Amino acid sequence: MGNRLKAALSEGRLQRGLWLNLPGAVTAEMAGQAGFDWCLIDGEHGPWDPSAIRTQLIALEGTGTEAVVRVPVAEDWIIKQALDLGVKTLLVPMVNSADEAAAVVRACRYPPDGVRGMGAMVARAGRYGGIEGYAARANDDICILVQAESRAAMEDLAAITSVDGVDGVFIGPADLGADMGCRDDLANPALWDAVADGIATICQGGKAAGIIVGGANAEARMIDLGVTFLGCGSDAALLQTALSELAAK
Enumerate the active-site residues: 45
By three-state DSSP, how is residue 18 classified? Answer: strand
For residue 96, give Cα distances in angstroms to 55, 112, 137, 181, 222.
Answer: 31, 25, 29, 17, 22
The Cα–Cα gap between 42 and 19 comes to 7
222 vs 232: CA distance, rounded Å: 11
| 100 vs 69: CA distance, rounded Å | 19
